[in-house]
Amino acid sequence: MQSLYQGSRMIQIMEETEGIVLRSFDVRETSKLAVFYTRDFGVLKGLAKGARKKQKQFGSSLELFSHDYISFYKNRTGEVHLIGKCEQKNFYPGI
């Protein structure tokens, strides 16, 4: 992960990878928590804020066993990262 500093504020740069959705949960009214398996980062947990309302941004990419392109901000202190964008590459419903 790369970080830049603007004044005294740290700005995180978005990471990108491909992954397969292993699980997804509804969180509160508008968000979803998804667990991905990625080649670059291993098991990755990410929070997609607004995923239940913004169909244009996430669509059906957080469905179980979908193969996705994931852009996320890596959390320095915890294991749940913030998903910025998730696009579906393939879908494997029969697994």
The rounded distance, in Å, linking the Cα atoms of 7 and 19 is 34
Interval 7-43: pLDDT, tens: 555 557 789 999 999 999 888 888 889 999 999 999 9
Q: What is the pTM of this model?
A: 0.79
State which amino acid sits at residue 18: E
Q: Render pLDDT for 48-70 as a digit per residue (tens, 0 to 9).
A: 888 877 666 677 788 889 999 99
